[in-house]
Structure 1
Amino acid sequence: MGAMLAAGMAALLSCNTSGSSNTKTAEQDSVPNAIHLFNGKDMNDWTAKIRHYESGDNYANTFRVEDGLLKVRYDGGYDEFDQQYGHLAYNTPFSYYYLRIEYRFVDEQTKGGESWAWRNSGAMLHGQDPKTMLKDQDFPISVEGQLLGGDGQTERTTSNLCTPGTNVVIDQKLFTPHCINSTSKTYHGDQWVTADFLVLGDSLIQHILEDQVVLSYSKPQIGGDNVLSYDAKQKQDGKALTGGYIYLQSESHPVDFRKVDLYDLSEYKDRPADIERIVKQIQQKKP
């Protein structure tokens, strides 16, 4: 486990000693079963929200399941991408969890996509309810684990952080810029990449690649800019984000997802030592 993960968990342990009991039980050896948010068959448990369309309208079959993969494609009616950003929300909100996503970028960017959106997708965490997004809203108010691919030559980190309508705390200071890069290596080509996220309410969020923490922050909260055409009632600046919806993103480049698994840690909320143990055991389950 990376040093940053250990440090983050140590901070939680220092604030809550309820998980440090010397009494060991069978329950303390257990690991929650993975919830397969993507079941490999359909999107019945998901809701699409594409800019300029109502929540639930999967315009142009942008999100689809084929060959056991959840795919993002633009061959069903995108003559121009035209900033029609899309998001696919899992219908159940979560607060404390470990999320594992396996993704890859394929093919060519669709016509009209911005240059920054080349091989660009994301996992939106603590997102607003998709039913509360307005028709012309571009991004859900959320914290984004940005997923990026390399061009074969240039270094380009992945599992970065972007903040549409939110702010976070990094190094004990409120971070208000829109994005910050992680410390990850670059993943070039069409290879599958496994991106993990440890999300503990508003106390700690970590982006993890190959068992190493590449970005860590806390206190996600509503605030700032970088989201358009939203319902003002949904943007209460300063409100702590302790949970919310998980989204997968469409930003003009085709992308495949073959695994979206979640380990619910809510019952261990007051037992940080158990969370640390469970995270280690999950990371031993290699894809």
Structure 2
Amino acid sequence: MKSASALAAGLSLCLSLCLPLTLSAEDTKAAEKWIPLFNGKNLDGWTVKIRGYEPGDNFGNTFRVEDGLMTVNYDQYDEFDEKFGHIFYKDSFSHYIIRVEYRFIGEQAKKGPGWAFRNSGIMVHGQSPESMSLDQRFPVSIEVQLLGGRATGKRTTANLCTPGTHVVMDGKLFKPHCIDSSSKTYRGDQWVTVEVEVKGNQIIKHIIDGETVLSYTKPQLDPSDADAQKLIQAGAPLMLEKGTISLQSESHPVQFRKVELRKLAP
């Protein structure tokens, strides 16, 4: 049996070794806090860019706050007329998880394209609104496509689209514009929560209810795309390490109840 002094010395050593671990865990927990990007009151910190209009011109009051919800509506439009829009958060990010709660409501705007029925998106690794041309339809970015189901048939959400970009899947450069996720179909006006885990140029995951429904690596600019070419000529690197976050207006009313972000270590 060890002496009392030996036991005391051992206990002291254990405490001295364990204490830093405890502090480290607390620091880690603090770093994992969710940061609300939308405050539920106004659009402070966000910039609207609608096709045909300068950044900051919120044509038709397209993006607004109603009953604490970020709402996209077209009640002041005569017809949609390809006025695709995006609302950009003020900061760019590299390593993070963004969590969005959304739902589609109401009827699609007059003359909205058929493919845009119950269609919106979370754009990550995007360009700035100021760098977009006046008539540019979509920012060069990686789009996490948000879709609502039709009355019948399968229609997944948290899909991938690539305006001006490519990604790598299964070790090969993926060039088609869109690919479906493995999610189920969400019909009606129900709320859906989507998380996107972004780790620089390493990997991006689309997650619903804790399940990864799509993942890919090495997001990058498409040198053959006219909008991406402008960025490359201005000195943008081919491989995407970080960028803006924006939400879409594509002719169907949609609401966002929560938009929040948790930073990740590089």
TM-score range, shorter chain: 0.7 to 0.9
Deviation per residue, 1:210-246 (Å, 9 max, x gap)? 1000000010000066x77x48431469701100000
Determine which structure has more spread, i.e. the larger CA radius of gyration: 2
Gaps in structure 2 of 5+ consecutive residues: 1-19
What is the distance in 1 between the residues matched to 2:167 and 2:98?
19
The match for 1:88 is 87
Deviation per residue, 1:231-276 (Å, 9 max, x gap)? 84314697011000000000000000010000011xx21xxxxxxx
The match for 1:162 is 161
Does 2:177 align with 1:178?
yes
Q: Secondary structure at 1:26's aligned position in 2?
A: helix
The match for 1:248 is 247
What is the distance in 1 between the residues matched to 2:122 and 2:37?
13
Contact 1:162 1:180 in 2 (8 A): yes
The letter for the 2-side match of 1:69 is L
The match for 1:52 is 52
What is the distance in 2 between the residues matched to 1:199 and 1:191?
26
Contact 2:202 2:218 in 1 (8 A): yes
The letter for the 2-side match of 1:44 is D
The match for 1:66 is 66
Shift of 1:44: 1.3
The letter for the 2-side match of 1:36 is P
What is the distance in 2 between the residues matched to 1:51 and 1:263?
30
The letter for the 2-side match of 1:26 is L
What is the distance in 2 between the residues matched to 1:179 and 1:53?
27
More moved, 234-243 vs 194-203? 234-243
Shift of 1:26: 2.7
1:232–1:204 distance in 2 versus 1, CA, 3 Å: closer
The match for 1:148 is 147
The equivalent position to 1:233 in structure 2, one of 230, 233, 236, is 230
The match for 2:8 is none
The equivalent position to 1:26 in structure 2, one of 23, 26, 31, is 23
Shift of 1:24: 3.6
Sequence identity (%): 55
Contact 1:165 1:235 in 2 (8 A): no
Contact 2:103 2:191 in 1 (8 A): yes
Contact 1:145 1:162 in 2 (8 A): yes
What is the distance in 2 between the residues matched to 1:26 and 1:183?
39
The match for 1:189 is 188
1:223–1:120 distance in 2 versus 1, CA, 3 Å: same
- RMSD of aligned C-alpha atoms? 1.6
Shift of 1:53: 0.5
1:224–1:115 distance in 2 versus 1, CA, 3 Å: farther
The match for 2:209 is 210
The match for 1:127 is 126
What is the distance in 2 between the residues matched to 1:173 and 1:224?
17
TM-score (ref. length: structure 2)? 0.87
Shift of 1:80: 1.4
Paired residues in the alignment total: 242
Q: Secondary structure at 2:107's aligned position in 1?
A: coil
The letter for the 1-side match of 2:72 is V
